[in-house]
Structure 1
Amino acid sequence: MATIRDVAKRAGVSVATVSRVLNETGYVHADTKAAVIKAIKELNYKPNYVARSLYKKSSRLIGLILPDITNPFFPELARAVEDVAHQYGYTVVLCNSDGDLEKEKNYLDVLTQNHADGLIVTTNRQNNMNYIDLDIPVVALDRTLHESIPEVRADHYGGGKMATELLIQRGCTFIAHVRGPSQLGPADERCRGFVNAAEQAGIAYHIVESQFDIPISEQTVSELLDTYPQIDGIFAGNDLIAVAAVKVALKRGISIPEELQVVGFDGIPLSACFYPAITTIVQPIYEMGKWATELLIQLITKKNIAAKTHCFPVKLAERETTKRMG
C-alpha cells in the first residue's frame, strides 16, 4: 500500500507539500499540485482520514439520526440525504435511535468525538437540549429542535385540515382521528388541523392516540370501533395507522369506502401498494431530505442561508379508501 512518502517521491516534492495538497492548506503552485494529484492517482494512494480528521477537525462525515428505521417514511428521507451528501463528497453515518433519548445521546457523543462535520436530526423529543450548544452545524428534519436550529418540514397542520375536509366533503358525519404520539410535533400539528376542520364543520369527532406502528394501531382501531361503531370516517396519523385501520375494518366485514372512509398521511409507497389503495396526504419526502442536506452543507461551508425554516406544502392523493365525487 502506497504511503505519503511514496507520493512525494513520485511527484518530486516534499512530504509537507503533499500534506498541503491533501489538507488544502497553504499555497501550492498549480503545476506542483497537478503533479501531486497525478502521483496520488498513479499509486492509488488512500489518505489516512482518521489522522486528517484529527488534524483538521473535519471528517467529511454527516451524522443522520433517525427515530425508527423500520418506518418506511425514514428510509426514504435517508436515501435523499445520502444521495445529496455523496454528490458533495460527504459520507453519511446512519444512527437509528429507536426513539430512545439515551441511545440518541450516545450516538451524538460518538459523532462529535469523531469530528462529524454536521448533523441532520429527526428526533422524537421536542426542544431537545442536546443539540443547542454543539460546535457543529445541525439541521432538524421533520421536527423542531429549537428556534435557533434550522428546520425542514412539511405543512402538517394544513395536511390534517385537508384530510378532514375531504372526509367531510365525501359525506362523513362522525370522524375519528387516530393520531400519533402526543408531544411529537408533526402528530400534534396534524391533530390541530383535524380539530380545526371538524369544529368549523360542526360535525361529531373523536380522537384516540396510537403509535406509528401497524400492530399497535390495529389494537387501537379495534377498540375504537368497538366503542363507536357509528364512525364512518377515520383520519389516520400516518399511512401505517391507515393500513391498520383498513385491515381491522375489512376483517369485521365493514366495506371501504362505502361504510368507512380512511385517509392516511405521508404518501409512502406502501399506501399505493396496499389493497384497497389508501387515500393519503403526501409529503414530498425525498425533496425534504434533499433540502435538509443542501442546507446543512451550506452551514458546514459557512455560506449564508436564505431562511432558518422551510415548510414544504403537502398534496392529496385520492385513491380507493374514500368515495369519489358524484
Structure 2
Amino acid sequence: MVSIKDVASQAGVSVATVSRVLNSKGYVSEDTRKKVEQAIAELNYKPNEVARSLFKKQSKTIGLIVPDITNPYFPELARAVEDTAAKLGYTVILCNSDGKTEKEQHYLDVLMQKYVDGIIVSSNTISERQIKSLQIPFVSIDREISKDIPTIVVENKKGAKLATQYLQNKGCMRIAHISGPLNVVNANERCEGYKEVVRNEQWFNESYIGNGHFEMDSAIEATLELLQLHPEIDGIFAANDTMAIGAIKAVHKIGKRTPDDIAIVGFDGISLSKATTPELTTIEQPIYEMGEKAASMLIEFIEEKPVEKTFYRLDVGLVERESS
C-alpha cells in the first residue's frame, strides 16, 4: 500500500508538505503543489480517511439508524437522506436496528468508533440521556424522542382522522383499524386519531383494532382475525401502507373484494402503493422532504451554521385510488 512517505519521496518534498497539499492548509508554492499532485496520481495514492478524520476532527460521514429496512418506507427515507448528504459532501452509513434496544446501542457505539460527525435516528427506545451523552449533533426522524431533540415528524393523528372520516364518507358503517406496535409513538398517534372518529359510534369497541406490527404478514393475520370476529366490517384503516397491502391480500383470501366489499386506506404514500391491485388509497406523508430536512438540519449543526428551526411537524394528505 502506498504511503504518504512514498508520495513525499516521489515528489522530492517533505511529508509535511504533502500533508499541507492534501489538507489545503498552509503555504505551498504552485510548482511544489503540482509535483505533489503528480506524485499522487502516478502512485495512485489514497489518503487514510480514518487518520485524516482524527487529524481534522471531522469524517464527513453521518449515521442513519432505522428500525426496519424491509419496510419500503425506510429505504425511501434513506434515499432522501443520502441524496441530500451527498450534495453537501457527506457519506451516509445505514444501520438497521430491527427496533431492538441492544442493537440500537450497538450501532451507536459503532458509529461513534467510526468518528461520524452526526446521527439521524428513527427510534422508539433511544432516550434523551443516551443522545446527550454522545455529544455530537443528532436528529430524530419519524418518531419524537423529546422536545429538546431536533425532530422531523408528521401529523399522524390528523392523517388517521382524515383516513377514517374518508371511509365514513364513502359509506362504510363498520371501520376496523390495523395498528402498529403499541410501543411506537406514531402508531399510537394514528390509532388515537382513528378512535377519536369512531369512539362514539354505538358499534365501536377495542375488538375492532388489530395489531399488525407495521408488517405485512402480521397484518394479514390480524385482518383475518378481525373479519372472523366481525364479518360486518366494510372499511379498514391500516397504520401504514405495508399493512394495508396485507389487508388487501387477506380480504382477497376469504373471497371478498376491495373496495366493493371492504374499502381499505393505508398511511405513508410509499411508491409501492401505486403498484398494488387495486392501487392503494393512502394518507401520503412527504417522505422525501422529511429525509431532506433531517440531513440538511444535521449538517447545519455539524458545520455550526445557524439553524432556523429544530422541530418540524409536516402535513399529510389523502391520495384517493382504487382500494376505496
Flag whether TM exceeds 0.5 (same fold). Answer: yes
Alignment of 1:141-180 (within 5 A): 141-180=141-180
Residue matched to 2:91: 91
Runs (5+) with no aligned partner, structure 2: none
Could you list the per-position Cα deviations for residues 90-121 of structure 1 after superposition, in whole angstroms to 9, with x for gaps in the alignment?
Answer: 22111111111101101110111221111010
Residue matched to 2:41: 42
Could you list the per-position Cα deviations for residues 249-289 of structure 1 after superposition, in whole angstroms to 9, with x for gaps in the alignment?
Answer: 11212222122111001111221111111111111112211
Change (3 A) 1:75 1:147: same
Alignment of 1:98-137 (within 5 A): 98-125=98-125, 127=127, 129-137=129-137
Residue matched to 2:227: 225
In structure 2, how many angstroms separate the alpha carbons of the residues matched to 1:269 and 1:30?
54
Matched, 1:306 2:314: no
Could you list the per-position Cα deviations for residues 287-319 of structure 1 after superposition, in whole angstroms to 9, with x for gaps in the alignment?
Answer: 211111111110110112111111221121111
SS of aligned partner of 2:177: strand
Residue matched to 2:209: 207
Alignment of 1:53-64 (within 5 A): 53-64=53-64
Residue matched to 1:280: 282
SS of aligned partner of 1:280: strand
How far did residue 175 of structure 1 move? 1.0
How far did residue 197 of structure 1 move? 2.5
Query: Are the aligned partners of 2:7 and 2:40 in contact in 1 as well (CA < 8 Å)?
Result: no
SS of aligned partner of 2:279: coil
Aligned to 2:258, which of 243, 256, 277?
256
Residue matched to 2:242: 240
Query: Are the aligned partners of 2:124 and 2:145 in contact in 1 as well (CA < 8 Å)?
Result: no
In structure 2, how many angstroms separate the alpha carbons of the residues matched to 1:224 and 1:57?
55
CA RMSD of aligned residues (A): 2.4
Could you list the per-position Cα deviations for residues 206-265 of structure 1 after superposition, in whole angstroms to 9, with x for gaps in the alignment?
Answer: 322221111111111111111111111110011111111111111212222122111001
How far did residue 128 of structure 1 move? 5.5
Change (3 A) 1:277 1:30: farther
Query: Are the aligned partners of 2:122 and 2:142 in contact in 1 as well (CA < 8 Å)?
Result: yes
Residue matched to 2:81: 81
How far did residue 85 of structure 1 move? 1.6
Could you list the per-position Cα deviations for residues 64-94 of structure 1 after superposition, in whole angstroms to 9, with x for gaps in the alignment?
Answer: 1111111111111111111122222222111
In structure 2, how many angstroms separate the alpha carbons of the residues matched to 1:173 and 1:30?
80
SS of aligned partner of 1:178: strand
In structure 1, how many angstroms separate the alpha carbons of the residues matched to 2:213 and 2:167?
22
* TM-score of the superposed pair, with normalisation by structure 2: 0.90
In structure 2, how many angstroms separate the alpha carbons of the residues matched to 1:147 and 1:11?
55
Amino acid of the structure 1 residue aligned with 2:49: Y
Could you list the per-position Cα deviations for residues 112-150 of structure 1 after superposition, in whole angstroms to 9, with x for gaps in the alignment?
Answer: 122111101011326454223211111111111222211
In structure 2, how many angstroms separate the alpha carbons of the residues matched to 1:120 and 1:307?
16
Q: Mean alpha-carbon deviation: is it higher for 14-23 or for 221-230? A: 14-23
Residue matched to 1:188: 188
Change (3 A) 1:251 1:149: same
Amino acid of the structure 2 residue aligned with 1:183: N
Amino acid of the structure 2 residue aligned with 1:207: I
In structure 2, how many angstroms separate the alpha carbons of the residues matched to 1:8 and 1:182?
60
Query: Are the aligned partners of 1:62 and 1:93 in contact in 2 as well (CA < 8 Å)?
Result: yes
Amino acid of the structure 1 residue aligned with 2:27: V
Residue matched to 1:28: 27
Query: Are the aligned partners of 1:21 and 1:36 in contact in 2 as well (CA < 8 Å)?
Result: no
Change (3 A) 1:220 1:57: same
SS of aligned partner of 1:89: coil
In structure 2, how many angstroms separate the alpha carbons of the residues matched to 1:293 and 1:92?
10
In structure 2, how many angstroms separate the alpha carbons of the residues matched to 1:307 and 1:171?
42
SS of aligned partner of 2:259: coil
Change (3 A) 1:133 1:36: farther
SS of aligned partner of 2:153: strand
How far did residue 201 of structure 1 move? 7.6
In structure 2, how many angstroms separate the alpha carbons of the residues matched to 1:32 and 1:199?
78
Change (3 A) 1:36 1:166: farther
Q: Mean alpha-carbon deviation: is it higher for 226-235 or for 251-260? A: 251-260
Instruction: State the aligned residue count.
Output: 321
